[in-house]
Structure 1
């Protein structure tokens, strides 16, 4: 069975690129920009990994990440943040994510981090 990855971002170009790259690597990928219904979407899709943009219009990613990590069904599911601000030294220590990838990122780096989180 293919590993499932749920990707949340408000940039359609990034969603399309991540979906194409991870689908090529034989992952089942669901992309969305709907942060309001992420848990409901996840209940149906049953992801093995969440990839979240750290800056969503109108939402705080730490709240979304906390919803995932506190949810009884998804508490052990890895969460990776994507951030333009990571390489600028932004402090993400309060966000319960399992990994961070700095934007812009290379597809090889993305695939390596995904493999580390859900295949190792």
Structure 2
């Protein structure tokens, strides 16, 4: 059964490159461009992993991560935070993220991080 990854990323180019690449690795991918779309997706089946950008046009990916990790129904789902900001320790502390990937990132490193998190669950 395919693993399902939900990507929350406002940059259209990054969103579709990540989607295309992950589909090549046989993942099912759902996309959200902002917090509003993410919130609407909570009514859909839960993913196996969230990949969340920090800076979003209508909110903050750190808040999304905290929401996921503080909810009984979703706290078990791994969250990988993506950010161009270099303060990884602060981002991890504020978000409760399972992993962090710095932008720009190598797509193979992204897949390795995803696979590591999925194997841990």
Same structural fold, with TM-score higher than 0.5 when normalized by the shorter chain? yes
| Alignment partner, residue 91 of structure 1 | 90
Cα separation, partners in 2 of 1:41 and 1:107, compared to 1, 3 Å = same
Which SS does the other structure have where 1:97 is aligned? coil
Q: Which runs of 5+ in 2 are unaligned?
A: none
Cα separation, partners in 2 of 1:101 and 1:89, compared to 1, 3 Å = closer
1:73, distance to aligned residue in structure 2 (A):
1.5
1:32, distance to aligned residue in structure 2 (A):
1.3
Alignment of structure 1 residues 8-19 onto 2, 5 Å:
8-19=8-19
1:90, distance to aligned residue in structure 2 (A):
6.6
Distance of 2:112 and 2:70 partners within structure 1 = 26
Cα RMSD for the two superposed structures = 1.6
Which SS does the other structure have where 1:73 is aligned? coil
Aligned length: 119
TM-score (norm 2): 0.89
Which SS does the other structure have where 1:91 is aligned? helix
Distance of 1:94 and 1:10 partners within structure 2 = 20
Distance of 1:53 and 1:61 partners within structure 2 = 5
Q: Which runs of 5+ in 1 are unaligned?
A: none
Distance of 1:39 and 1:89 partners within structure 2 = 25
| Alignment partner, residue 81 of structure 2 | 81
